[in-house]
């Protein structure tokens, strides 16, 4: 079995000996924890290195360490820290702005390039885009160089979506590791039924969205909700996830005639989030650049077997058409997205078929078990 050293810009903080305690950080942090837990389950030794973790903390049998300041201080200090002799496989969970130094940490990338051994990099994002901002353009240039150095440093390059192959130098052979759901599969149908009763009230139909309600997704989602609720007086809509309350409040203020049918859950544990998702008849997960295998928010309803409507855009991969895991409409076309939702609500058989297809696709392509299978196959 292998010793893995997983380097990440964020990790759910924990008290010594109490797995999962402390703040939840979402995104890459929760993904890293899921990956570490699955490696551990298969008998590997796992160390996680991340900023902001208390020295001596542990996450069950996962050994958690603060990421040394030497990484941010430059290659010479990093080498002096003894990391050049660290045994085992180093797996960097790469988000360029998470490496410190304002997203311009070239010394760390150079250090990893010269370290040797079994170094691997998982690209969650490749680099900053060019924009009107001179500082932003400097970051875009430097991060492209950082990506080049990390590709050269890696024995194996992983990407969260096959689309990133187009953005990374000499990485046509990069291995795709889809980002799985960080929300567990609901195993309590009775609890899900109770959650539905609480969330839907007297409404016969319940449509939901799960996410963090960031600006771009919220802009895509906002016009869909009133179209659906206006067309379907028996339907309610529920916002599940962090910042869902603020989004729901905005919708209620802009559409007071629909306010009684717009709900939110507030912050939830992962287990309670799975119950809220299972309570819905249909989930709608729109993205302005299209659904991709790096969107954890779409993975949660797929893992829980809930029929899901999403969007096709310039980043959407072939796997979504091949598996028919979600009902797709073009990104930005609110009426088409709402029509897909309405069709699924009107046709129970189609809704069941889509939920089954989504769950099968998740198990076959997107789950953490499949990701670790791929990770170990490239040893």
C-alpha to C-alpha distance for 338 and 22, rounded to whole angstroms:
39
Helix (H, G, I), strand (E, B) or coil at 230: helix
pTM: 0.87
pLDDT at 83: 56
In this prediction, residue 20 has a pLDDT band, given cuts at 50, 70 and 90, of very low
- Residue pLDDT, tens place only, 173-207: 889 999 999 899 987 889 999 999 998 888 899 99
Half-sphere exposure of 114 (CA within 13 A, CB side): 11
Predicted confidence (pLDDT) at residue 21 exceeds the cutoff of 50: no
Q: Name the helix (H) or strand (E) containing 210.
A: strand 205-210
- Residues counted in the chain: 379
pLDDT at 19: 40
Predicted confidence (pLDDT) at residue 264 exceeds the cutoff of 90: yes
CB-CB contact of 239 with 214 (8 Å): no
Burial (Cβ within 10 Å: 0-12, 13-18, ≥19) of residue 128:
buried
Cross-strand pairs, 240: 210
CB-CB contact of 207 with 280 (8 Å): yes
User: Which backbone phi and psi does 224 adopt, to 5 degrees?
Assistant: -70, -40
Query: Domains of the chain (ranges plus CATH)?
Result: 3-180+368-377 (3.40.50.2000), 189-366 (3.40.50.2000)
Two structure tokens written together for 248 = 């729901």
CB-CB contact of 154 with 119 (8 Å): yes
pLDDT at 363: 96
- Residue pLDDT, tens place only, 117-144: 788 999 998 877 766 777 667 777 888 8
In this prediction, residue 75 has a pLDDT band, given cuts at 50, 70 and 90, of very low
pLDDT at 16: 36
């Amino acid at each position: 079995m292998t010793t893995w050293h997983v380097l990440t810009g964020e990790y759910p903080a924990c008290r010594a000996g109490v797995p999962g305690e402390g703040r939840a950080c979402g995104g890459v942090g929760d993904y890293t924890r899921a990956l570490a837990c699955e490696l551990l389950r298969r008998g590997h030794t796992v160390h996680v290195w991340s900023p902001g973790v208390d020295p001596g903390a542990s996450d069950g049998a996962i050994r958690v360490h603060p990421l040394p300041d030497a990484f941010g201080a430059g290659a010479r200090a990093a080498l002096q820290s003894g990391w050049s002799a660290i045994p085992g496989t180093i797996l960097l969970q790469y988000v360029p702005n998470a490496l410190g130094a304002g997203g311009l940490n070239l010394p760390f990338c150079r250090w990893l390039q010269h370290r040797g051994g079994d170094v691997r990099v998982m690209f969650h994002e490749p680099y900053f885009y060019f924009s009107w901002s001179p500082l932003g353009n400097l970051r875009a240039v430097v991060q492209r160089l950082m990506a080049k150095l990390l590709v050269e440093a890696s024995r194996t390059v992983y990407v969260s979506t096959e689309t990133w192959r187009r953005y990374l130098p000499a990485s046509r052979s990069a291995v795709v590791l889809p980002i799985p759901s960080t929300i567990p599969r609901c195993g309590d149908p009775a609890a899900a039924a109770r959650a539905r009763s609480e969330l839907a009230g007297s409404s016969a139909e319940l449509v939901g969205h799960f996410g963090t309600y960031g600006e771009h997704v919220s802009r895509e989602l906002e016009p869909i909700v009133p179209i659906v609720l206006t067309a379907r007086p028996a339907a309610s809509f529920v916002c599940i996830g962090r910042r869902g309350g603020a989004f729901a409040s905005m919708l209620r203020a802009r559409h007071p005639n629909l306010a009684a049918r717009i709900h939110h859950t507030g912050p939830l544990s992962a287990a309670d989030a799975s119950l809220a998702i299972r309570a819905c008849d249909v989930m709608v997960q729109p993205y302005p650049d299209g659904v991709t295998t790096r969107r954890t928010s779409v993975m949660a309803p797929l893992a829980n077997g809930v029929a899901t409507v999403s969007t096709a855009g310039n980043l959407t991969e072939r796997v979504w058409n091949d598996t028919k895991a979600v009902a797709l409409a073009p990104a930005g076309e609110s009426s088409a997205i709402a029509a897909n939702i309405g069709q699924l609500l009107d046709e129970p058989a189609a809704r069941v078929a889509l939920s089954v297809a989504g769950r099968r696709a998740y198990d076959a392509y997107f789950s953490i078990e499949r990701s670790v299978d791929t990770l170990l196959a490239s040893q």
